[in-house]
Structure 1
Amino acid sequence: MSFYKKDNSDYLEQAFYSLQGQTLPADEIILIQDGQVGADLENIVKKWSQRLPIRLFVNRENIGLGMSLKKGLELCSYEFVARMDSDDICHPERFEHQYNFLKSHPEIAVVGSWIAEFSETIEKISNYRKLPSDSEELFFFAKKRCPLNHPTVMYRKSDINKVGSYFNFRFQQDYHLWGRLLNSGFRIANIPKSLVYMRVDERLFNRRGGIRYFQIETQVQKTFLDIGFINKLEFIRNYIIRGCIRLIPNSLRKNFYETFLR
């Protein structure tokens, strides 16, 4: 898990609560502080470091999520590693489900899950972010869309390292990783259950728009084309569709996500 100065301390505390309540607790929690943060966040981390096996590492400067996750993965002591964002909430049985899945499916490098989206409390779910579960279907799905909900994944550290771990693609570091992983012959899967609760608001859809976001997406698609994961026609299709989505007004983008991607 990585956090930085703009994160909400109350949300971080709720994330820690959900880790404390796991039926299969984590043996260690690698926490990357990405740059300087306020006293409210520092106090939450100090409080929960007494309750959870947290190992805190502080970046002197903000280096972004991708590079923070790359650093964090290097610091992990174990082969099975779960990802989580600092404002999400894990289902109590998340780790148990995913650990058992990877143990019983040695051919799978990464397993994710669905996401239940909420804005106020997890008792009021607004939407579900569902993805295919079958590894063969996910291979072709990934040529069009990100095949895994990043904050839900558990993966084998050795497999992620074999393809170079995370790169510094803001907003797209996960999709870039999954494409390289699949192109190298690794397999992924999703458990068809909502094992993570994610907060959503207008800012979420706003962050997924604009010229800069589209430029980064285009760089990722060019990488996929260069390594042979997609062909030229697939690149053109993705470029046109993604360009339209990123450059429309936020209200329309929100409606598109909620209508077609949920």
Structure 2
Amino acid sequence: MIKYSVLMSVYKNDKGQYLEEAINSMVQQTVKPAEIILVEDGPLTTELYEVIDKFKNNYPEIFRAIPLEKNVGLGKALNIGLEYCRYDLVARMDSDDISVGNRIETQLAYFEKNQSLDIIGGDIEEFITSPNHTVSQRRVPCGDKEIKEYMKIRCPFNHMSVMFKKRAVINSGNYQHWHYNEDYYLWIRMMEHGCVMANTGTVLVKVRVGKEMYSRRGGDQYFQSEKGLQDYMLRRNIISIPVYLKNVALRFVVQKLLTPSIRGYIFKKFARS
């Protein structure tokens, strides 16, 4: 059986109950992880430490927490955590989502079938109160060519759903800080390094969302982060000037001019199903 690592990060604003559900969804996979690396991104709450201690005691052979003295942000935390992963196949997981039971089994089958594959993600279902009550779904393209074309417009992976080869990520510069978009920045660099990409076309993770999600996707900081990625792709000749202008104009309208409620409607109408 192929061995793999799970890479997670947690910080003080996360909830203990959600973290416990997220980790449980990984230890209960049909193909069990060989290790779970959880980066403690700065000091945490008592509630979170209690959950972490529970998994340390229950799964001492696979569970390892990596404490950081101060909060460094998701990109740097995952950069550090990936270095601790002992296995080349690494599954990302967020601290408040729930992976479906056969997620890893599905992804490993893709790696076994295609030895050149570097990263495989999947669709997500979003929920507010219960994972059994889906409010929206984000679908992403499946084939390598389609993913790389979609990359020029929007992020082609659901970050919490991906499994990748550690060496492919390291060779592409590893995770780096990019406000709100550490993952998108990494996928772009992986594409530049010729990595082979795929999505399953099936739901792999159930994602916890709320009304505040659409507020976070707006404002000047979010716009500048997204524009910065467009600037990067333009400089690297990944996108043309017309595509750049269209992408930036659309983001300016959605992220800076619209209210959160209207932004939420736009996302649900055009970016979700």
Unaligned segments of structure 2, at least 5 residues: 1-7
Alignment of 1:2-41 (within 5 A): 2-41=9-48
**TM-score normalized by the length of structure 2:** 0.94
Between 198-207 and 47-56, report the one with greater CA deviation: 47-56
Structure-2 residue corresponding to 1:73: 82
User: What amino acid is aligned across from residue 123 of structure 2 in structure 1?
Assistant: W
* Alpha-carbon displacement from aligned partner over 1:46-97 (angstroms, at most 9, x marks no partner): 0012233211111101000000011111111000000010000010101111
Structure-1 residue corresponding to 2:135: 126
SS at match of 1:50: helix
Unaligned segments of structure 1, at least 5 residues: none
Alignment of 1:46-125 (within 5 A): 46-52=53-59, 53-125=62-134
User: What amino acid is aligned across from residue 128 of structure 1 in structure 2?
Assistant: Q
RMSD: 0.9
Alignment of 1:153-232 (within 5 A): 153-232=162-241
1-structure distance, mates of 2:221, 2:98: 29
Which of these residues, 250, 254, 257, is aligned with residue 260 of structure 2?
250
Structure-1 residue corresponding to 2:5: none
2-structure distance, mates of 1:89, 1:81: 17
Structure-2 residue corresponding to 1:143: 152
Equivalent residues of 1:179, 1:229 under 8 A apart: no
* Alpha-carbon displacement from aligned partner over 1:83-123 (angstroms, at most 9, x marks no partner): 01000001010111111211211222110000011111111
Tell me the number of residue pairs that the alignment of Structure 1 and Structure 2 aligns: 262
2-structure distance, mates of 1:127, 1:61: 35
1:157 CA drift (Å): 0.5
**TM-score normalized by the length of structure 1:** 0.98
1:245 CA drift (Å): 1.1
1:183 CA drift (Å): 2.1
User: What amino acid is aligned across from residue 143 of structure 2 in structure 1?
Assistant: D
1:167 CA drift (Å): 1.4
2-structure distance, mates of 1:109, 1:63: 27
* Alpha-carbon displacement from aligned partner over 1:13-46 (angstroms, at most 9, x marks no partner): 1112211210001100010000011110000000
User: What amino acid is aligned across from residue 175 of structure 2 in structure 1?
Assistant: Y
Between 68-77 and 217-226, report the one with greater CA deviation: 217-226
Identity %: 34
1:232 CA drift (Å): 1.6
User: What amino acid is aligned across from residue 66 of structure 1 in structure 2?
Assistant: G
